[in-house]
Amino acid sequence: MLDIALVSLIQDMSEKAGVEGTIQYWLRVGENLAKRMGKEAYMGWPSFNVALREGRTAFSIEGNVVALTDLAITDVDGDVVGYIYALEKCVFEPTILRVRYSVGQLPKADKQIADEYNMTYRDIAVCNFCIIHVKFREEVAKNITIAGQPLEALHLADRGFTGDTKIDEENLNKIGINKEYVRSLLRNYACVFALVMKGARLKGEVSEE
Amino acid sequence: MKQIEGNEAILDNPMVDIATYLFLEDIADKQGAAGMNNYLMSLAYSLARSMPEEEYTSWESFVDAVVKGESILSAFEKVNAVSQYCMVTVESPFLRGWKEYTKRIGEFPRIHKEVAEYYNSRITPTAIETGDIIIQTYRKAAAEKITVEGKKVRVAHIATVSPDGSKKIAPEEWLPILLEKAQISKTQLNMILRNNAAVWIVYPSQ
């Protein structure tokens, strides 16, 4: 019931604190959630990817996250500095269905909050929960080290419940992945992101310089 | 728990559940137990407001709908009827979120119990933690949308059991009246509390 209570709270919150106020709350929740999960350290990418597969990392709270190990990200020297990951099912989808079958319609605030976030922050949200989720991922990545190096999460693309998609072209350019390729990943996955070593000299970033 | 996709239950995602708890804690940090209590009650009222009204031609058909999960009173919890008016919630609707929080985050902060104490001192003294405030307020507000044989339905709470096993039973001075209405004895109440999460009554308004 907690998730349905949250949906009910969204409408209430946006009426009391305004849409912008709710976004601020959501960003703080994403940050706090990541902080409360604690830090993790791995010897290398293989051990991290195994931990992810076995559901032992903080990212596992999202559901089934798949490491697309054929999509390694390399830096300007050709060293592997990251991978692309995909979430099979949107974390908010069960809630959307549960609301649909117990209450009816999602509150209007869901779309209003996502639209406001897309206009004022980054154009990547397909529902209001993306705000918590994306922030959570970015903060969790900072708490994970691989071979002593902290990670950085780059959000790439997501697909909403009604099939609408959002693609972050700026991040795609950084890691040098084709937009249409990522779009094709969205046929099988709800959300695609990259984890790279923080400070890595990515090809896209260097060519921009 | 809804069962729509084939026979599979649609389970809420742990991240959404935990995010809700953290969101409530964030509100409590800023507004204290009183502010958090107001938010919890307010969201339960809005949830009940968004549910459709119901009417039944007999008390039996109403109880039947509640037990089958067809009524708004049992939209979020599995309810069994012990007597004509006494209902039991088999499993707390917050159990999954509670388990995920304790597994992934750790122990619940004290504020969840403090806000329940605030609620107990001002509204109805049968809450143990935040989730109880939501569900108890929701039950009362949802009952107001139900008419049986032309009369509105009322809800009163007798006892709650937390996932950690702690119990909160209505005050001694209230108990005889509540148990009489529920048509159960105090011993039977204790028996019911061994394997259920809440005991409450529904009755027609006078």
Q: Where are the domains of chain B?
A: 6-204
Per the rule left: phi > 0, alpha: psi between -120 and 50, beta: everything else, B183 is: left
CB contact (8 A) between residue A97 and residue B17 = no
> What letter does residue A202 receive in the DSSP assignment?
B
Considering only A25-34, A59-68, A96-105, which range has the smallest mean pLDDT?
A: A96-105
For residue A87, what pLDDT is reported?
94
At B9, the pLDDT band (50, 70, 90 cuts) reads low
For residue B103, what pLDDT is reported?
86
Mean pLDDT of A17-30: 90
Is the Cβ of A111 closer than 8 Å to some Cβ of chain B? no
Considering only A144-153, B40-49, B114-123, B130-139, which range has the smallest mean pLDDT?
A: B40-49
Report yes or no for ipTM above 0.90. Answer: no
Average pLDDT, chain B: 90
Measure in Å the smallest separation between the Cα of B22 and chain A Cα atoms. Answer: 6
- Token pair 């959570």 in the structure block, residue: A136
CB contact (8 A) between residue B50 and residue A8 = yes
Chain B: residue whose CA lies nearest to A95: B12
Spatial neighbors of A186 by CB under 8 A, at least 6 apart, are A157, A158, A159, A165, A192
- Judge whether residue B8 has pLDDT over 60: no
User: SS3 letters for chain B?
Assistant: CCEEECCEECCCCHHHHHHHHHHHHHHHHHHHHHHHHHHHHHHHHHHHHCCCCEEECCHHHHHHHHHHCCCHHHCCCCEEECCCCEEEECCCCCHHHHHHHHHHCCCCCCHHHHHHHHHHHHCCCCCCCHHHHHHHHHHHHHHCCEEECCEEEEEEEEEEECCCCCEEECCCCCHHHHHHHHCCCHHHHHHHHHCCCEEEEEEECC
CB contact (8 A) between residue B13 and residue A25 = no
At B12, the pLDDT band (50, 70, 90 cuts) reads confident
User: What confidence tens digit (pLDDT) does each residue in A94-104 have?
Assistant: 888 888 888 87
Average pLDDT, chain A: 89
For residue B192, what pLDDT is reported?
93
At B7, the pLDDT band (50, 70, 90 cuts) reads very low
At B198, the pLDDT band (50, 70, 90 cuts) reads very high
- Judge whether residue B118 has pLDDT over 80: yes
A17 and A26 in contact (C-beta within 8 Å)? no
Kindly state the percentage of chain B with pLDDT values over 90. Answer: 64
Mean pLDDT of A46-67: 91
Domain B6-204 has CATH 3.30.1380: yes
Kindly state the percentage of chain B with pLDDT values over 70. Answer: 96
Q: Which of A2, A190, A14, A206 is nearest to A110 (CA)?
A: A14
- Judge whether residue B4 has pLDDT over 70: no
Is the Cβ of B18 closer than 8 Å to some Cβ of chain A? yes
User: What confidence tens digit (pLDDT) does each residue in B61-92 have?
Assistant: 999 999 999 999 998 899 999 999 999 999 99
At A119, the pLDDT band (50, 70, 90 cuts) reads very high
Is the Cβ of B53 closer than 8 Å to some Cβ of chain A? no
Q: How far apart are CA A155 and CA A134, in angstroms?
A: 7
Disruptive mutation site among B23, B25, B99 for chain A (greatest number of A CBs within 10 Å): B23
- Judge whether residue B35 has pLDDT over 50: yes
